[in-house]
Structure 1
Amino acid sequence: MRIDFAQLLLDVLERRASDLHITAGSHPKIRVRGRLTSLEDYPVLDPTDTREIVYGILSNDQRQRLETDWQLDFAYAIPGTARFRVNAYLQRSAMSAAFRLIPSVITKIDDLGLPPVVHDFCKKPRGLVLVTGPTGSGKSTSLAAMIDEINETREEHILTIEDPIEFLHSHKKCMVNQRELGSDATGFGAALKGALRQDPDVILVGEMRDLETISTALTAAETGHLVFATLHTQSAPQTIDRIIDVFPSHQQDQVRTQLSVALQGVMTQTLIPTADGSSRVVACEALVPTPAVRNLIREGKTHQILSAMQTGGQTGMQTLDMALASLVRAGRITQRAAEARSSTPEELKRLSGGIGGLGGGLQAA
């Protein structure tokens, strides 16, 4: 192999990159503040290089799974230095991989810039809390902060089911058990069913990917567990629709009723470059299921939830446009960056007064 892979990973840390990409026919690339940059100090990789890099960090079992499925999720650690979430995959019959840096320190909820209502989500005795957003929006970082707050404030059993394990949680006031798909469990659905017999108080499901997992998570939330999970949705109302639409049409009325009772909160987030370009800041939409919102879910009127959020500030709710406008007014992001993330730019202009933001920002992920 022509490159020192250990040094390459250290360069990722030194440059404060969030991701590293290796693929045949290209220099290694890193993502810094949301943009890909080539590391031209390293050679263009060929298929032999990328295969040697990936196979050099896999166990025999992982190699076998990669050869069977042609893709693999796993975690890789530099002891005492950093952890990475890795997806290795084939493209054009050559090996490629994406490495996502997992911060070694779990950042607190307030330091991330999450809405204050997130603290309330962590105090719920039972129910379903969803953290949603596009890939790379900091969902795992936010969930780790929420689990850490529970770990420091409650005396309970936390069980996580992840693919792969990202943030490592130590035992504080809580006992924390973390299960990884592939090495500790065969799949989210089976692991979640097993979790119900492992006496957990709090369950983290890395991703609700299918009907079985969503159905079991809803059941767990109804039967006295506090369940945290993620979805790749762009808004709180869309999250509600996504869950309901997974089920066959003849079950959807029942699921609406279940969800209207079990749901305790939805937070949808995105990361935006700060006005000075030095980092990224998080903008969050927050849905709190008030009696009115629960009724809208039960009656299938999710299109009216946005209006409830716009007028629900006293309960901690906010729309993405409200969060974006607040960041613009505070000078953390520019008006142009905010409008690029808004689905209703005219509403955003009204809320922000059309002010272009200047100045610094908060490091969110």
Structure 2
Amino acid sequence: MTDEVILEVKDLKTYFMVDEGLVKAVDGVDFQLHRGETLGIVGESGSGKSVTNLSIINLIPVPPGKIAGGQVLFHGKDLLKMPPHEIRDIRGNKISMIFQDPMTSLNPFLRISTQMVETIELHQGLDKKAAKEKAIEMLKLAGIPAPEKRIDQYPHQFSGGMRQRVMIAMALSCNPEILIADEPTSALDVTIQAQILELMQELTRKLGTAVIMITHSLGVVAGMCDTICVMYAGRIVERGRTEEIFESPKHPYTVGLIHSVPRLDQETKGRLYSIPGQPPNVIDLPDCCPFFPRCEKAMDICKKKYPPSVSFENGQSASCWLYAKEAQNA
């Protein structure tokens, strides 16, 4: 990881208008991504992780969705203000994405060769023969056996793990600067998960690619990520270096997530801990701390006003009234 910032997200807001009201799926998200860094975005389902990253590459369906504000600066240029043809040149080329389910991401009616070669031809400017050679090379790097034969097969002829390897090969075939991985192992069994994560680490290290890893698994981010952003109800509630987050979590939600993970180095007595309650309904959510109904340390001010972000000496930051001076003086 270097000090060069290649992606900066500033006050990103993505809303959805539904019959019941306004869904603030992403409500003021800020983070930076450095060259060669692996950034983990964690949180429960519905916290806004996937919508944040779909917003970055402008894949929000309009309507009902709308990017209501903010900036996404890629090398200083705002992706949200680019015309469609310019963002298409970046999407899949400079910024690639691995989606959750490889079976729905791959077209079942087209051979793997058709899907991979088309992408490489479009973004790399290679002829069909050279593009196919590059595709075969990427499948080989991704651990697909006999890639010269398998490339002409259809997605249904691959297992779930092999389809995910195809998706990784396709995403990295244009040597992107940023790879967004949206829970790339959620549909796989545990042993295959470990292989896929190891493969991603190896390939991105070789290519110097920065990674945004979206996941609900703290085990995944512990082994892969340099930094972590914890999301809850459309906002980042804590961020910091991975080792600092695990050693000294600040936000009560982060503490709850870490305590919910089984520990092999400790004897477990009784039931595994779980955070009480359910994630909030984000339709017309009031401007207070959305975690207060589930928080054991909630105060009166938590129910009235959203907490500011407080920075700590080790580089961590958390949005919690436990650390804000306004609450201490209240």
Give the structure-1-normalised TM-score: 0.31
